[in-house]
Chains A and B, each alone.
Chain A
Amino acid sequence: AQTVTQSQPEMSVQEAETVTLSCTYDTSESDYYLFWYKQPPSRQMILVIRQEAYKQQNATENRFSVNFQKAAKSFSLKISDSQLGDAAMYFCAYRSANAGNNRKLIWGLGTSLAVNP
């Protein structure tokens, strides 16, 4: 069974600085998707960035980028130029590309990110 591990329950960063959130996963599959979701205090979970395992190029969305290391099964999120609005819980999630698994997301426990002014 697949698992997702986020080893940092809490992180903090100074405004305008860069922070990296860690995520590792365990799977025997070769084709899958990885996601970072953000859940701010208002609680609405939103997708930050996604990565297809078959793509070697790391995904980037504005100030958010990932470091995807397939062999190491690592999927870290880098937030550059951190803003106060980035304060939230960040969840890493995995989904098999096998349609037979009903598109079930496997979630990590989350990392709580504080942004200090």
Chain B
Amino acid sequence: ETGVTQTPRHLVMGMTNKKSLKCEQHLGHNAMYWYKQSAKKPLELMFVYNFKEQTENNSVPSRFSPECPNSSHLFLHLHTLQPEDSALYLCASSHRDRESYNEQFFGPGTRLTVL
């Protein structure tokens, strides 16, 4: 596997379910990001991890719980979601110190539907 991978690609869950999204990067990066992409809205940055430490939480509801066990893996644990949480969830990674413009590389996303 190369680049940034995400599993599953599609997920349908009920409001009472608990599920997790997984992201893995094979680029040697040290920063990872979760974004939410909804129709007719700009990409929303949810969480940022640098060197496994969470450095940003953009007022995300507690029903979304990120976990970064190492610099290559990022999880998003989901519980008691709402239908409005249905969206495409994108993971990205970058190397904070390699270049000043900090290009972010994206995974293919997980299409989440909450029933």
Interface of A is mostly: strand
In chain B between 54 and 104, which residues have their CB closer than 8 angstroms to a CB of chain A?
55-56, 88, 90, 92, 94, 96, 100-104
Q: Pull 20 A–B residue pairs with CB atoms less than 8 Å apart, ordered by A.
A: A4-B42, A33-B100, A33-B101, A43-B108, A43-B109, A44-B106, A44-B107, A47-B103, A47-B104, A95-B101, A95-B102, A102-B48, A102-B56, A103-B31, A103-B94, A103-B96, A103-B102, A104-B56, A109-B40, A109-B41
Contact, CB under 8 Å: A107 / B108: no
Interface of B is mostly: loop
In chain A between 93 and 109, which residues have their CB closer than 8 angstroms to a CB of chain B?
95, 97, 102-109
Min CB distance A109 to B, Å, is 6
| Chain B, residue nearest A52 (CB) | B101
User: Is B12 positioned at the interface, with any CB of A under 8 Å from its CB?
Assistant: no
Q: A46 vs B105: C-alpha distance in the bound complex, in angstroms?
A: 7
How big is chain A's contact interface, by range?
20 to 34
Min CB distance A14 to B, Å, is 27
Q: Contacts A43-B88, A102-B56 known; A107 to B42 CB distance under 8 Å? A: yes
| Chain A, residue nearest B55 (CB) | A102
User: Is A42 positioned at the interface, with any CB of B under 8 Å from its CB?
Assistant: yes
- Which A positions have Cβ atoms within 8 angstroms of B? 4, 33, 35, 42-47, 50, 52, 91, 95, 97, 102-109
Q: A4 vs B43: C-alpha distance in the bound complex, in angstroms?
A: 11
User: Is B45 positioned at the interface, with any CB of A under 8 Å from its CB?
Assistant: yes
Q: A105 vs B31: C-alpha distance in the bound complex, in angstroms?
A: 14
Min CB distance A43 to B, Å, is 5
Residues of A within 8 A of B109 (CB): 43-44
| Chain B, residue nearest A4 (CB) | B42
In chain B between 36 and 57, which residues have their CB closer than 8 angstroms to a CB of chain A?
40-43, 45, 48, 55-56
> Contacting A97 at CB < 8 Å: which of B48, B92, B100?
B100
Contact, CB under 8 Å: B42 / A50: no
Contact, CB under 8 Å: A50 / B45: no
Q: Please name 20 further chain A to chain B contacts, defined as beta carbons within 8 Å, in addition to the given A46-B106, A103-B94, sorted by A numbering.
A: A4-B42, A33-B100, A44-B107, A45-B106, A47-B103, A47-B104, A50-B101, A52-B101, A95-B102, A102-B48, A102-B56, A103-B31, A103-B96, A104-B48, A104-B56, A105-B43, A105-B45, A105-B104, A109-B41, A109-B42
